[in-house]
Amino acid sequence: MELLLALTIGILFAVGVYMILARSLLRVILGLSLLTHSVHLLLLTMSGLKAGAPPLLGEKADSYVDPLPQALILTSIVISFGVTSLYFVLAYKSYQKLGTDDTEQMRREADE
């Protein structure tokens, strides 16, 4: 399972990077969220998968899965929500102001 997931992480990350290198701001933002998903899965995979019960002590299980990556990911999900929203608003406002969401075109206009 870990091997399979490692592969998935790689693909998600690669697609995310490819999108970030694109010119359209919308693509960049979507790429960023793919990148985030990939990193979340990476954190989860690191500690091994399905090694025990969920980290709820009420379950009274013999072993639990690692709670630490989960805490990290939870933080990351919320932060990336804030960041994505900010990027989204920036992209959308700059489109309103500049009439384009193409970064190369914005750059050319900035030079002029």
User: Scanning residues 8 to 37, which ones bind other proteins (CB under 8 A)?
Assistant: 8-24, 26-28, 30, 33-34, 37
SS3 81: helix
Question: Considering the rule CB under 8 A, would residue 105 count as an interface residue with other proteins?
Answer: no
Distance CA 64, CA 88 (A): 38
Token pair 């990290």 is found at 72
Distance CA 106, CA 98 (A): 7
CB of 59 to other proteins, least distance (A): 9
Give the interface size with other proteins as a residue count (CB under 8 A): 84
Sign, Cα dihedral of 50, 52, 57, 59: positive
Question: Considering the rule CB under 8 A, would residue 98 count as an interface residue with other proteins?
Answer: no
Q: What part of residues 56-75 is at the interface with other proteins (CB under 8 A)? A: 56-58, 64-68, 70-71, 73-75
CB of 52 to other proteins, least distance (A): 7
